[in-house]
């Protein structure tokens, strides 16, 4: 990279001395920096858009009865929803507790047991396990 910049600097010095004056030798360094700047911006913005789209798709699957894991590691079943909050039922046997979370605290969503999505996911996992067993 430095060799490329040195090349442009040498060409610019030659152009300033009057030997040959072309546009690229005078503006080349600005073009290179501009391309690098645009590239860096694209590399930062595109992954954010993809992540936001995946998050929105996940939230669209959220419904009562879904099994949810929060960013804190709490696993529970969704019992109530509104625009900004969800209520999870978590615990074992007689020791069940309902907890309220904001929607942004959701890390992952598993479909409700017995739903078509859960059955499809179970079939896919079974197919992956069978494929792994065949390889062994």
45 and 94, same domain (yes or no) = no
- Tens-digit pLDDT string for the chain (136 aa): 566 556 656 655 555 555 445 666 778 888 889 999 999 999 999 999 998 998 888 888 888 888 999 999 999 999 999 999 999 999 988 899 999 999 989 998 887 677 777 788 788 888 888 888 778 6
Is the model's pTM score more than 0.85? Answer: no
91 and 71, same domain (yes or no) = yes
67 and 131, same domain (yes or no) = yes
Please report the pLDDT score of residue 86 as a whole number.
Answer: 93
**What's the residue count for the chain?**
136
Range of the domain at 47: 2-59
77 and 55, same domain (yes or no) = no
Rounded Cα distance, 107 and 71, in Å: 5
Handedness of CA 71, 78, 55, 118 (dihedral sign): positive
Rounded Cα distance, 8 and 1, in Å: 11
Contact criterion met (CB below 8 Å) for 47 and 67: no
**CATH at 80:** 2.30.30
Contact criterion met (CB below 8 Å) for 11 and 28: yes
35 and 79, same domain (yes or no) = no
Please report the pLDDT score of residue 49 as a whole number.
Answer: 92
69 and 131, same domain (yes or no) = yes
43 and 73, same domain (yes or no) = no
70 and 128, same domain (yes or no) = yes
45 and 81, same domain (yes or no) = no
Number of helices (H), then strands (E), in the chain: 3, 5
């Amino acid at each position: 990279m430095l060799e490329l910049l040195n090349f442009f600097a040498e060409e610019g010095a030659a152009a300033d001395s009057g030997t040959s004056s072309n546009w690229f030798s005078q503006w080349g360094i600005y073009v290179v920096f501009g391309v690098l700047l645009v590239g860096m911006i694209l590399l930062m913005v595109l992954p954010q858009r993809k992540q936001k789209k995946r998050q929105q798709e996940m939230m669209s699957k959220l419904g009562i009865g879904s099994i949810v894991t929060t960013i804190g590691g709490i696993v529970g079943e969704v019992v109530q929803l509104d625009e900004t909050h969800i209520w999870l039922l978590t615990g074992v046997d007689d020791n069940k507790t309902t907890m309220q979370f904001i929607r942004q605290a959701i890390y992952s969503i598993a479909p409700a047991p017995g739903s078509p999505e859960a059955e499809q996911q179970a079939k896919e996992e079974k197919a992956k396990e069978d494929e792994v067993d065949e390889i062994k």
